[in-house]
A and B are shown apart, each in its own frame.
Chain A
Amino acid sequence: MSGMSGKTQERLLYLISPIGLILLWQVLLMLGIGDRRFIPAPSDIAWRYWEMLRSGELVQHTAATLYRVFAGFFLGSIPGIAVGLLMAMFRPVRIFFDPLIASLFPIPKIALMPLLLLAFGFGDASKIALVVTAVFFPVVVNTYVGAANIEKIYWDVARNFGASQAVVFRRIVFFGALPMIFAGLRIALAVSFIVLVASEFVATKSGIGYLIWSSWELLQVDVMFVGIVTVGVLGLIATVILQEIERKVIPWKAE
Chain B
Amino acid sequence: MGLDIRLPIGGLFIALGLLLALYGIFGDSNIYHRSLGINVNLGWGVVLLAFGLIMATMARWGKGKASEDAARPAPSPLSGKRH
Query: Does B bind A?
Result: no
